[in-house]
Structure 1
Amino acid sequence: MSSFDSVDVQNTPDTTPAPEAVLETTPEAEAEPTGPTFGQLGLPQQLVTALERRGIRHPFAIQASALPDALAGRDVLGKAATGSGKTLAFGLPMLARLGAQPGQGRRSPRGLVLVPTRELAQQVHDNLAPLGQAVGVQIAAVYGGASMYRQIQQMRRGVDVVIATPGRLQDLISQGEVTLEEIEVSIVDEADFMSDLGFLPVVKELLDQTRPDAQRLLFSATLDGEVDSLIRRYLKDPARHEVQRAGDDAPPAEHLAYSVAFRDKVPVTQELAARPGRTIVFVRTQLGADRLAENLQAVGIKAEAIHGGLPQSARRRALEAFTDARSPVLVATDVAARGIHVDDVSLVIHYDPPADHKTYLHRSGRTARAGAAGVVVSLLLPDQVGQSKRRFRSAKVDPVVSRVRPGDEPIAELVATGVHVEPVERPVRESRRPAGGHGGPGGRRPRRDGDRPRRDGDRPRRPYGERSSGERSERPYGQRSERPYGERPSGDRPYGGERRSSSYRGQGRRPGSHVAE
């Protein structure tokens, strides 16, 4: 029994589900929820005003439940699904506390938010930074794949709150650029996913460096196993809050499963991806994501791939294009998709089966958000049907598995029910460079001392200490990349998903290998 189960919980139905991204893009809803206002919960007026300017006047269930205890300085343990409004539930109390006592001189971080992925770090930053400005709290996000040099410059200028992935924060601490000695509020978000990725040992090392009397808030969708050990070690008599929505046990979406021949898998996916509306296609490997996105683009479907092997700038461009519906299809690996919170995703395709029922539910939870309808489709090779049925039972869904081929009526009917989403064009950012290029005569930048002409094959130079654009700083040491052992690129061959079982030892992953981006 976990420490969460040992006490009574507040079980408040959330009749107004809304994703955390509502803070950034969604105007005030026509029918606002009833209940207490943020001001009535004790939030400072500066933050109440900042929220109202963004069209947010009433808290969602997890916010209304957790805010009073968090504002009172208690440790808080929250059990809530992704998209239930957790960012404000932990962010507002932290901003209220730090804003009441502004830092003096060169500021060391006084608030810490640990998250598992780059996308989630950026999302939390984008949601909290404008509110922090209202109370004079400076916020910075640090994560792998982005320029460490720029992040170091931010730390040296001084910030009040650091939102970080564990690996990159550990790198900055080891270089002497960040100290956690003055942390007053520490937050762990998506603790269950941290555990799945093997990050909890690093999380514990980081929390050990914070003040013993720091307020701690932990949010997770599940509270068992290693997460429970984290709770017992770091949270002191936490106030426990649970929000259970109607769709927590089985996402409020229509679940379908189709058995397809290996040769038909890509054509069927192309037909489904042509459906009007936003679609997320989940694959198992980085290479698979790239190949499938190329196959979709080859038939005129605007699709982007997102995975841990891409530079952060490329991942952000792909996510922006998907959010704006300029590329309405996103081909994603599991780790990269953890931080994706976008409304109006009408279709989720499990192109490769998930590792377990938890991953199935989390993938499927990308659709049917904020009260909208959604469809979840699993494409299964014949030898994957039996295991997938067991996974469906664990996830408490019961789709009927039917055999289909390209052009069959069930696929055509599903495509016909799609809803078009109008693309939004982002304004073009003006370049700060002179018209001639990099500056200097003829468009060349002036050569600095020690520069030498760059030859073909030279690696681009990076600031000292900056890592390359992979996921190394976000992956615990010793874990393998998500590409299966023995798998190699093979030209323009269409990607057909997971290979069948074979005696060839180079096919698939080694038993027991851990997959992380």
Structure 2
Amino acid sequence: MPHPSSFAEFGLPAPLLRALADAGITTPFPIQAATLPDALAGRDVLGRAQTGSGKTLAFGLALLSALDGGRPRPLRPRALVLVPTRELALQVTEALTPLAKSLGLWCRAVVGGMPFHRQVDGLRRGVDLLIATPGRLSDHVRQGTCVLSDVRHTAIDEADQMADMGFLPQVRAILDLTDRTGQRMLFSATLDGDVDALVRRYLTDPVTHSVAPATASVSTMDHHVLLVSREDKPAVVAEVAARDGRTIMFVRTQRQVDRLAKTLRALGVRAGALHGGKTQGARNRVLGEFRDGGIPVLVATDVAARGIHVDGVSLVVHVDPPADSKDYLHRAGRTARAGESGTVVTMVTHDQQRTVLRLTERAGVRPTRTKVRPGHVELVRITGARPPTGEPVIEREPPAQTRRALRPRPGRDSRFAANRGRARAPRRPARAQSRVA
């Protein structure tokens, strides 16, 4: 039976179809066309698809359609989306909020690194669809600020990454608190090991849809190994970073991220650094600038990059080769998203060749190997490399509200600790504000 070729064929609520059309979304991606009929029918769904394949709308449209017409109770969301990282949670929320509003539904995110009390206020006002990371949601459950017994529709996204990051015990505890008779959907690039155990325990007679292999052998993705000497590598990396187009560069440690981003900015490349050692506000700001084009190069660690779901990334560079084939596939998945084309490049020195060859074989990839030097014609052909301008990029100061947020809070700094017990002087009465018509 052929899959629907337009969202209108799914029988979605009319306001939802209008919101999709207003966003220029009319034709479903394969994962959406495959899973939506069963998801809309209330079946448990198991979707195997790589990142960037359009999974957010695959579960999002089904959840919103199921919620249409109901009302939430305070502190009791009606549907839940679990994701492994803060960045992904915020991106899913951003994608689904306009669609939720078209139906008069409230969609909110609950993630770590953001003010807890604001999240409590939002939960008290009522949430139809809650997007959450397991850690912060567990905190709310423990404190009684979120009750999950009204959740009848649950989606788990990037389940394999959830397993890799050690979140499955929390995921299981959360699922145990939701309505056992409700609908559950799970999406993952791989469906083995711990993920398979999760499926067998929590999904009832699921319909399985697999639209992509669990490798990076996507037809729109080119893989290259660039053989480079240790002496030439810094210059080669700088020339690749200076290319036109959106680029993500991976290194292994947080310190290396900061060092490389600083070096690139000194050479005239607008580069941002992303790693787990930064505040959530700083991470959001860097990702926002990368998405908006303010910075074309993002330097990141594997862990931080798990939440990078940005379209239009045309080049992924393994400045440091990944630790294993899973990390290779995850990094590679930042490009060639949603049918776009992309290139994946691994910088390899002589002593790394054998390790990288085994790693790419396990990932199901046969990269083209090319020996390069700075200015090499093949380096330019493969990556679009060019010499950096050499004019240092001056870092912009964060906005005033961000600077205030980074200041020490009372009770968290020794200067304030001594004043905790002192009585505060009464405040002066506030001046009456003039009303503006």
Q: Counterparts of 2:255 and 2:194 in 1: how far apart (Å)?
A: 31
Q: Which runs of 5+ in 1 are unaligned?
A: 1-9, 13-33, 419-428, 439-449, 462-517
The answer to whether the Cα contact below 8 Å between 2:313 and 2:334 also exists between their aligned partners in 1 is: yes
1:319 and 2:287 correspond: yes
Residue pair 1:144, 1:168 contacting (<8 A) in 2 also: yes
Residue in structure 1 matching 2:38, options 48, 66, 69 = 69
Deviations 1:278-309 (A, max 9, x none): 11101111111111101111111100011111
1:55 aligned partner? 24
Structure 1 match to 2:7: 38
1:361 aligns with 2:336: no
Q: How does 1:23-172 map to 2 (within 5 A)?
A: 35-103=4-72, 106=74, 108-172=76-140
Q: Supply the AA of the counterpart residue of 2:26.
A: R
Give the structure with the larger helix fraction. 2
Corresponding residue for 1:198?
166
Q: 1:229 aligns with which of 165, 189, 197?
A: 197
Task: Give how far 1:339 is off.
Answer: 2.3
1:135–1:299 distance in 2 versus 1, CA, 3 Å: same
Alignment of 1:428-447 (within 5 A): none
Q: Which residue of 2 aligns with 1:15?
A: none
Provide the TM-score with structure 1 as the length reference: 0.72
Question: Counterpart amino acid of 1:74?
Answer: R
The whole-number CA distance in structure 2 between the counterparts of 1:254 and 1:187 is 32
- Partner Cα separation in structure 2 for residue 451 and residue 68 of structure 1: 53
Q: Secondary structure of the residue that 1:100 maps to in structure 2?
A: coil
Q: Residue 344 of structure 1: CA displacement?
A: 2.4
CA–CA separation in structure 2 for the residues paired with 1:231 and 1:116: 17
Structure 1 residue 97: Cα displacement: 1.2
What is the CA–CA distance in structure 2 between the aligned matches of 1:451 and 1:225, rounded to whole Å? 46
Q: Which residue of 2 aligns with 1:4?
A: none
* Equivalent residue for 2:249, pick from 275, 278, 281: 281
Please give the secondary structure, in 2, of the residue aligned with 1:128: helix
| d(CA) in 2 for partners of 1:107, 1:71 | 26
* SS, match of residue 337 in structure 2: coil
Number of residue-to-residue matches in the alignment: 404
How far did 1:52 drift? 1.6
Distance in 2 between residues matched to 1:234 and 1:149, nearest whole Å: 31
Note the C-alpha offset of 1:453: 13
Contact 2:81 2:157 in 1 (8 A): yes
Post-superposition CA distance 1:466-504 (Å, at most 9, x none): xxxxxxxxxxxxxxxxxxxxxxxxxxxxxxxxxxxxxxx
Tell me how far apart the structure 2 counterparts of residues 454 and 208 of structure 1 sit (CA, whole Å).
39
Deviation at 1:416, TM superposition (A): 4.2
Contact 2:242 2:385 in 1 (8 A): no
- Tell me the TM-score normalised to structure 2 length: 0.85
Residue of structure 1 in register with 2:261 after alignment = 293
In the TM superposition, what whole-angstrom CA distance separates every residue of 1:424-448 from its partner, at most 9, and x where no partner exists?
A: xxxxx99899xxx99xxxxxxxxxx
What secondary structure sits across from 2:317 in the alignment? strand
Work out which of the residue numbers 357, 375, 386 in structure 1 matches 2:354: 386
CA offsets, 1:167-216, max 9 Å, x none?
11111111111111111111110001111111111110110111111110
Q: Distance in 2 between matches of 1:222 and 1:110?
A: 28
Deviation at 1:394, TM superposition (A): 1.6
What's the C-alpha RMSD, in Å, of the aligned pairs? 3.0
Identity between Structure 1 and Structure 2 (%): 51
Q: Call closer, same or farther: CA 1:274–1:153 in 2, change over 3 Å.
A: same
Decide whether aligned partners of structure 1 residues 371 and 135 sit closer, same or farther in structure 2, where only a CA change above 3 A counts: closer
Q: Secondary structure at the match of 1:39?
A: helix
1:396-437 Cα shifts (integer Å, max 9, x gaps): 22234444333334334445478xxxxxxxxxx99899xxx9
- Contact kept? 2:83, 2:162, Cα under 8 Å: yes
Relative to structure 1, is the Cα distance of residues 114 and 432 closer, same or farther in structure 2, using a 3 angstrom cutoff?
A: closer
- Rounded to whole Å, the distance in 2 between the matches of 1:73 and 1:320 is 35
**Contact 1:343 1:369 (8 Å CA) reproduced:** yes
